[in-house]
Amino acid sequence: MNKEKIIYYINVEDIQTVAEEKLGRELNEKELKLVEDKLGDYIGWFEAISTAINNAGIK
């Protein structure tokens, strides 16, 4: 098993899609960097993984 394999990622297009919907425009490079620096602070990785394991029916 490759422990370095990325399971899920968020790319610039994902961020720009949300910005377009919420702000009516895309973010500039400086704004993208600000979001990039903060994004990990708002994702509950443990809970997301735990929920996915439970919802997959793994015991």
The pLDDT of residue 49 is: 95
Mean pLDDT of 41-49: 94
Spell out the domain ranges in the chain: 12-55
CA geometry: angle 35, 40, 42, nearest 5 deg: 90
SS (H, E, C) 22-50: HHCCCCCHHHHHHHHHHHHHHCCHHHHHH
pLDDT band with cut points at 50, 70 and 90 for residue 53: very high
Q: How far apart are CA 17 and CA 2, in angstroms?
A: 31
pTM: 0.79
Q: What is the tens place of the pLDDT at every residue in 17-37?
A: 999 999 999 999 999 999 999
